[in-house]
Structure 1
Amino acid sequence: MRDAIFKIAERKIQEAIENGDLDNLPGAGKPLKLETDFHVPEDLRATYGILRQAGVLPEELDLQQAIAKLEEMLAAAPSAEEAGRLKAKLAEKRLHYDILMEKRRKKPLHIY
């Protein structure tokens, strides 16, 4: 079923390209602004927007950045001892992130 939907979408896109429907669109040739909250559940978008404007990251994004930084540091670790220390920190951050995500999945979507 999923493949059929992708094929239909691809065919519609191809038709639009051939018909020129996608020519001269506003923003053509400019980079996409991916800092929008398309990945954030709708009920959390206002909160995330306020946090972003205040320069505060949600905890999961902060953890994701910390994990990425630790992975970079681990790849460049000068010694086995340092690599071991970084692996322990990385495991701790990943566990914290996984626990946080599990809690978010179990949280009710609506507050009454």
Structure 2
Amino acid sequence: MLAAQRKGEFDNLEGAGKPLTPEDMSRVPQELRIAYKILKNADCLPPEIELQKEIITTEKMLAGVKDEQERYKVMKKLNFLIMKFNAMTNRSIRFEIPQKYEEALMSKMDSNRNTETPGE
């Protein structure tokens, strides 16, 4: 690294010679700021953020699923993740993420019940 620095490989980097802008940690309690900084630098996210990312990924996956049974499984997973997120955040019900596919799941479950034969 020192050899690269001596060769001038770091001279034309964006922001070179300018002061670094400090992160806004005003909402984080003083005693937790160092821990948050360490976790952020290690690419560790709070569980809520990880869950939100998983919800977004699952929604994108659902958009590409064509098979009805697979779509049903992905919808169940998505609703579970949303329910878990809402329970984890303990927010007012007004701010909960809606279970977007609840109605579709319920109609699918009803149609499955109607097609089952007795004795199965």
Q: TM-score, normalised by structure 2?
A: 0.48
| Alpha-carbon distance in 2 for matches of 1:69, 1:78 | 16
Cα shift at 1:78: 2.0
Q: Which residue of 1 aligns with 2:48?
A: 60
Cα shift at 1:54: 1.8
Unaligned runs of 5+ in 1: 1-26, 28-35, 104-112
Matched, 1:93 2:81: yes
Root-mean-square deviation (Å): 2.7
Runs of 4+ in 1 over 6 A off after TM superposition: none
Cα shift at 1:51: 1.4
Matched, 1:78 2:36: no
State how many pairs are aligned. 69
Cα shift at 1:57: 1.4
| Alpha-carbon distance in 1 for matches of 2:36, 2:78 | 25
1:47/1:101 CA distance change after superposition, 3 Å: farther
Q: TM-score, normalised by structure 1?
A: 0.51
Equivalent in 28, 36, 39 of residue 42 of structure 1: 28
| Alpha-carbon distance in 1 for matches of 2:69, 2:39 | 38
Cα shift at 1:60: 0.6
Unaligned runs of 5+ in 2: 1-14, 16-22, 92-120
1:41/1:84 CA distance change after superposition, 3 Å: farther
